[in-house]
Amino acid sequence: MSTSTYTVKGMTCGHCVSSVKEEVGEVAGVTGVEVDLATGLLTVDSDGPVDAAKIIAAVEEAGYEVANQS
């Protein structure tokens, strides 16, 4: 199992969190998504390594921006 974290900019409400969770959750290999509205922290669990570009693209599809990843 692999876990990666990202900081998402621009989320202001629960709907924002839901949008990000939905889009990232559709990325192949992703098994879990947690989003903390207060900190902007996005935690992605997966069966194995997932291409960060796919996660970033999913966040952008939801209408937000990834500030950094770790």
Torsion 41-18-48-65 (CA) sign = negative
Q: Would 29 be classed as within a structural domain?
A: yes
As for how many domains the chain has, the answer is 1
Range 34-60 average pLDDT: 96
What b-and-e string marks burial along 6-19, b requiring 16 or more CB atoms within 10 Å of the CB? Answer: bebeebeeeebbeb
DSSP 25-53: HTSTTEEEEEEETTTTEEEEEESS---HH
Query: pLDDT, tens digit, for every residue of 16-39?
Result: 999 999 999 999 999 999 999 999
Residue 20 domain boundaries: 1-44
55 vs 38: CA distance, rounded Å: 20
55 lies in a domain?
no
- What is the model's pLDDT at position 36? 97
